[in-house]
Amino acid sequence: MYGRPNSDEEKKFKLVKLIDIANRQNCSHLLIAGDFNYNNVDWNENMLPAGPTTKEQIFLDCISDNFLFQHVYEDTRVRGTQRPSLLDLIFTNEKDMIDKVEYCSPLGASDHVVLNFTLNLYSEEKEKTCNYVF
């Protein structure tokens, strides 16, 4: 998923709506990842600096309302003398679904790190049923 830093409000609201819809599918495993470009959010504390309600707050509320877990805690974008920022995020619907997030060197000319992680999945065995045709 990619959210342009200068996206208009309507696109940011569509993203929130899309996350709501994805979470309502009641999947056993939900993973949403990408460059969300919410650099004002403190993802370690899941909060914003005090101020008026912003698109970042609406996004944070969406993540909280959908009980999603965020797994990236170090800066993922570093460019020259600019302040490093945490833009690339991984959300899941289970706390232990992601293990061992590694922050690897960027590919090519990118200014974003490569995130390497372990995805823990399981399958639920369904009770065998017998179908009889008479």
Q: What is the pLDDT of residue 64?
A: 95
Q: What is the pLDDT of residue 68?
A: 97
Q: Which residues of 38-62 are buried (b: 16+ CB within 10 A; e: fewer)?
A: beebebeeeebeeeeeebbbebbeb
For helices 55-65 and 9-23, the axis angle rounded to 10 degrees is 0
What gap in Å lies between CA 13 and CA 129, rounded to an integer? 44
- pTM for the whole structure: 0.83
Tens-level pLDDT at each residue, the chain (134 residues): 667 666 677 777 889 999 999 999 988 899 999 999 888 899 988 888 776 567 888 999 999 999 999 999 999 998 888 889 999 999 999 999 999 999 999 999 999 999 999 999 887 666 656 566 65
